[in-house]
Amino acid sequence: MKPLTHFKQNQILPLLVAPVLVTLGVLTAVPARATPGCGTTNTNLLSPVSAGYFPDGLLDLMCRDLLRGWDLKTKVKGDSDLYVTLVTFQAGGQTGWHSHPGPSLITVIEGALTVYKDDCTFTTYSAGQSFTDLGCGDIHNVVNETGMEAKDVAVQIVPHGAPRRDDKPNPGCAQPTPCPAF
């Protein structure tokens, strides 16, 4: 066996690098794949090309109605985009697991939709019912588990220029079932 000093430099380098690459490959987590939505159509109700734009300071709102016991406080620092979106769900359609960078106010206007959260709990909302999504990393999947079309209207406030949604992998929940073939 030759002593190490007789190896050429180009022969030693692969011997030193290979274990490092194997170790990195084993210890590096493989990112989980996002779960795609299916059977949904999104229609921006503000305009076909843009969202509403609110410059920094414009969403600093406060309103109090003492007679009704109603109090509103909203303060957004930074420029914001506003989306008003009609989402139509075919029977069995779903959004896929995702989050938003800001809050959403959602009203079901037709049918019924089940909202699955990343802790694997769920709530079903029927036409006329509303729910909120804080955004900021809250992961959820909205599913039409009925045999009929369902619709909701979502009002979202997100940081200016940010994508409206961020696709996420299934957090390990058994439900909902994968998308049917449409």
DSSP state of 176: S
Give the pLDDT band of residue 174 (cuts 50, 70, 90). Answer: confident
- The one-letter amino acid code at 42 reads N
**Distance, CA of 160 to CA of 82 (rounded, Å):** 9
Q: What is the pLDDT of residues 97-108, one digit of tens each?
A: 999 999 999 999
Answer for the pair 43, 86: CB distance below 8 angstroms, yes or no: yes
Closest by CA position to 175, among listed 123, 132, 102: 123
The topology (CATH level 3) of 38-165 is: Jelly Rolls (2.60.120)
pLDDT of residue 31: 42
pLDDT at 21: 36
- CA-CA distance, 24 to 14, in Å (whole number)? 15
pTM for this model (two decimals): 0.78
Distance CA 95, CA 15 (A): 48
Could you read off the pLDDT of 21-39 as tens digits, one per residue? Answer: 333 333 334 345 667 889 9
